[in-house]
C-alpha cells in the first residue's frame, strides 16, 4: 500500500502552454490568454506574466497597466479541449480512478498501482513524462494521503514539478499554512478567524473545538479542525463514463467474418484485462460495441456472477455477445470491448471459477512482457495470425 496514494495533477499555465506549442516565439516572455475588449479578463497568465502580479480573472486593462508590453493571445477553446482530451487519456491509461476537477486538473487514486511502481512518486514521474511525450506540456503533481493535501502539494510543485507531502510530514506541512488556503475559508471566515488571532493552521488547531465552534458554528469548526489535522475522507470519484475500462478500434478494412471479429475481440479483451490489472481493479459487466459501415452502432452487455480481470474470460463473454448480436453478417467498421461495474482487486472473489487461476498466471506472465517491451508487443497468437489492418483506437 502506498502511504500517500492520492495525486493532484495540474497543468501549468495550461492555455498559455498550448499556445506556445503552436507559436514558440511566445516562450520565455510575459503572455496572457484572453479577449482584448475593454471588459475582458485574463483567462491564463504565463509565469513570466505572473512576475508582474498578473493572474487569471484579473481585468485585461489591469494586466496591460502592470505590463504594457504584454502579449495577448485570443483564446482557442477547441484547441484547449483537444489537448485536455489527450492529457486525460494519458491519466486514464494509468488508472480509471481519475476525478476531473477542471479542463486541466484532476485527482487520481493510484493505490491500485502498487504492484507496478515502487511509490506514488514513481507513478507521478511516469505521468509527467507520459504527458510530455504525448503533448509536450508541463504538468505539476502533488502527492499526499488526502485530496485536500494533494491539492496544496501541487501548488508547491509548480511550475513543472512534483511535491510529496508524506504521511509523517503532513502535520508540519499543514501547520505552516495560512488558514486562507483551507477549503471552506472564504473572506468572511478568514476575518472571523483573524479576530480571534488565528492566522495559520497551527493557530487553528491550538484554538480548540469550543472556541472555534463559538466563532464559526459547530459544523464549519468541525470541518476545519478535521482538515487541519489531515483528515479528509472524500474519495476520488471518477466521472460516470470513466468507471469503465474499454478499448475500441476502427478498421481500415471492414471486418466481414465471424472469426475475424472473434479474433479482434480476444485481442481487445486482453488489453482490457491488462489495464484492469494495472489499475488493481476487476470488472463485473462486460460490454461489446459493434459499428457497421452505415454507422449503425449496437452494444450488448452481460453482468457476470463474478468480477474478473482475466483477459480470456472477458474475451469469451465478448465473443459470445458479439456472436448473438452480429446476426445479419453486415460488414463491421468498429469493434470495442469494455469492462464496467468495477471493484478493487483487493476485495475477495466470492467464488473461484475453474481455470481462472491458471489463466490469471498466464495473464501475469503477459503483463511482465508488456512491462518490459511495451504494451502492444504482447498479443495472443490468434490475434496476430488474423490481424486486420487497423487505424488506431
Ligand atoms: Mg492548472
Residue 146: the pLDDT is 95
- Report, at the CATH architecture level, how domain 240-385 is classified: 2-Layer Sandwich (3.30)
For 236, list phi and psi in degrees, rounded to 5. -75, 120
Q: How far is CA 100 from CA 7, 113, 158, in A?
A: 12, 19, 19
Ligand 1 mean position, distance from CA 105 (Å): 6
Catalytic residue among 17, 48, 105, 260: 105
CATH class (in words) of the domain with range 171-228: mainly alpha
The residues near 146 (Cβ < 8 Å, ≥ 6 apart) are 6, 230, 231, 232, 234
Cis peptide, bond prior to residue 282, ω within 30 of zero: no
Beta-bridge mates of residue 143:
7, 164
Span from the CA of 15 to the centroid of ligand 1 (angstroms): 9
CA–CA gap between residue 94 and residue 322 (Å, rounded): 28
Report the separation in Å between the CA atom of 254 and the middle of ligand 1, taken as the mean of its atom positions. 42
* Ligand 1 center to 167 CA (angstroms): 25
Distance, in Å, from the CA atom of 5 to the CA atom of 16, rounded to the nearest integer, reads: 30
Distance 18 CA to ligand 1 centre (A): 12
CA–CA gap between residue 238 and residue 54 (Å, rounded): 33
CA–CA separation, 232 vs 102, rounded Å?
20
Spatial distance between the Cα atoms of 211 and 206, rounded to a whole number of angstroms: 10
pLDDT of residue 250: 83
- Paired with 162 in beta bridges are 141
Determine the pLDDT at residue 392.
36
105 is catalytic: yes
pLDDT value at residue 376? 44
pLDDT of 369: 57
Q: How far is the CA of 120 from the centre of ligand 1 (A)?
A: 20
Q: How many CB atoms lie within 10 A of CB 379?
A: 18
Q: Choose among 79, 113, 77, 119: nearest CA to 93.
A: 113
Q: Report the alpha-carbon distance of residue 297 to residue 326 in Å, rounded.
A: 11
Burial class, 30, CB count within 10 angstroms (exposed 0-12 / middle 13-18 / buried 19+): buried
What is the DSSP code string of 329-370? ---EEEEEEEEES-EETTSPPSSPPTTHHHHHHHHHHHHHHH
Query: What local confidence, expressed as pLDDT, does residue 336 receive?
Result: 95
Quick check: 109 and 234 in contact, CB under 8 A?
Answer: no
- Model pLDDT, residue 289: 94
How many A from CA of 229 to the centre of ligand 1? 26
| CATH fold for the domain made of 1-165 | Alpha-Beta Plaits (3.30.70)
On the CB side of 247, CA atoms within 13 Å amount to 22
Could you tell me the three cell numbers for 293?
459501415
Return the closest-CA partner of residue 214 out of 188, 193, 183, 187: 193
CA of 82 to the centre of ligand 1 (A): 16
User: Residue ranges of the domains in the chain?
Assistant: 1-165, 171-228, 240-385
Using DSSP, state whether 102 is helix, strand or coil: strand
The model carries a pTM of 0.66
d(CA 55, ligand 1 centre) in Å:
12
DSSP notation for 271-286 = HHHHHHHHHTEEEEEE
Rounded to the nearest whole angstrom, what is the distance from the C-alpha of residue 226 to the centroid of ligand 1?
Answer: 26
| Ligand 1: centre distance to CA 44 (Å) | 9
Q: How many CB atoms lie within 10 A of CB 324?
A: 11
Ligand 1 centroid – CA 247 distance (Å): 29
Radius of gyration of the chain, Cα coordinates, nearest whole angstrom:
25
Per-residue pLDDT of the chain (393 residues; tens, 9 = 90+): 799 999 999 999 999 999 999 999 999 999 999 987 778 889 999 999 999 999 998 999 999 999 999 999 999 988 998 999 999 999 999 998 999 888 999 999 999 898 889 999 999 999 999 999 999 999 999 999 999 999 999 999 999 999 999 999 999 999 999 999 998 888 889 999 999 999 999 999 999 889 999 999 988 999 999 999 999 988 898 875 457 888 888 888 899 998 899 999 999 999 999 888 877 788 999 999 999 888 888 999 999 888 899 999 999 999 999 998 887 778 999 999 999 988 876 655 444 444 555 566 666 666 655 555 444 444 433 333 333 333 333
Fold agreement (1-165, 171-228) = no
Distance between alpha carbon 158 and the CA centroid of its chain, in Å?
18
Sequence-distant (≥ 6) Cβ neighbours of residue 186 within 8 angstroms: none
Q: Report the C-alpha gap between 33 and 17 in whole angstroms.
A: 10
Amino acid at each position: 500500500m502506498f502511504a500517500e496514494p492520492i495525486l493532484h495533477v495540474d497543468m501549468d499555465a495550461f492555455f498559455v502552454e498550448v499556445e506556445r506549442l503552436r507559436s514558440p516565439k511566445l516562450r520565455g516572455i510575459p503572455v496572457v490568454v484572453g479577449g482584448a475588449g475593454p471588459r475582458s479578463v485574463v483567462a491564463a497568465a504565463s509565469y513570466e506574466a505572473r512576475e508582474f502580479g498578473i493572474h487569471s480573472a484579473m481585468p485585461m486593462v489591469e494586466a496591460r497597466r502592470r505590463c504594457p508590453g504584454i502579449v495577448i493571445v485570443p483564446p482557442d477553446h477547441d484547441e484547449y479541449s483537444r489537448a485536455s482530451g489527450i492529457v486525460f487519456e494519458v491519466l486514464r491509461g494509468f488508472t480509471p480512478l481519475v476525478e476531473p476537477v477542471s479542463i486541466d486538473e484532476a485527482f487520481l487514486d493510484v493505490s491500485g498501482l502498487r504492484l507496478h511502481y515502487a511509490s506514488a512518486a514513481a507513478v507521478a514521474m511516469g505521468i509527467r513524462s507520459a504527458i510530455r511525450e504525448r503533448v509536450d506540456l508541463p504538468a505539476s503533481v502533488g502527492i499526499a494521503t488526502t485530496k485536500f493535501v494533494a491539492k496544496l502539494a501541487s501548488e508547491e510543485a509548480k511550475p513543472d514539478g512534483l511535491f510529496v507531502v508524506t504521511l509523517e510530514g503532513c502535520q508540519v506541512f499543514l501547520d505552516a499554512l495560512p488558514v486562507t488556503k483551507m477549503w471552506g475559508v472564504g473572506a468572511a471566515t478568514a476575518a472571523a478567524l483573524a479576530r480571534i488571532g488565528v492566522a495559520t493552521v497551527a493557530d487553528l488547531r491550538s484554538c480548540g473545538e469550543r472556541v472555534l465552534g463559538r466563532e464559526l458554528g459547530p459544523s464549519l469548526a468541525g470541518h476545519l479542525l478535521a482538515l487541519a489535522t489531515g483528515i479528509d475522507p472524500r474519495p476520488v470519484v471518477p466521472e460516470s463514463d470513466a468507471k469503465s475500462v474499454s478499448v475500441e478500434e476502427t478498421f481500415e478494412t471492414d471486418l466481414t467474418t465471424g472469426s475475424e471479429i472473434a479474433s479482434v475481440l480476444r485481442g481487445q479483451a486482453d488489453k482490457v484485462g491488462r489495464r484492469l490489472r494495472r489499475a488493481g481493479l476487476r470488472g463485473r459487466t462486460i460490454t461489446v460495441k459493434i459499428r457497421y459501415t452505415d454507422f449503425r452502432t449496437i452494444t450488448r452487455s452481460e453482468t457476470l456472477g463474478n468480477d474478473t480481470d482475466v483477459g480470456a474470460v472477458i474475451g469469451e463473454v465478448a465473443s459470445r455477445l458479439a456472436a448473438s448480436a452480429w446476426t445479419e453478417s453486415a460488414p463491421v467498421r468498429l469493434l470495442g470491448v469494455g469492462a464496467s461495474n468495477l471493484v478493487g482487486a483487493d476485495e475477495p472473489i466470492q467464488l473461484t471459477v475453474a481455470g481462472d487461476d491458471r489463466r490469471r498466471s498466464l495473464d501475469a506472465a503477459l503483463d511482465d512482457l508488456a512491462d518490459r517491451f511495451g504494451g502492444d508487443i504482447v498479443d495472443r497468437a490468434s490475434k496476430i495470425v488474423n490481424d486486420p489492418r487497423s487505424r488506431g483506437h
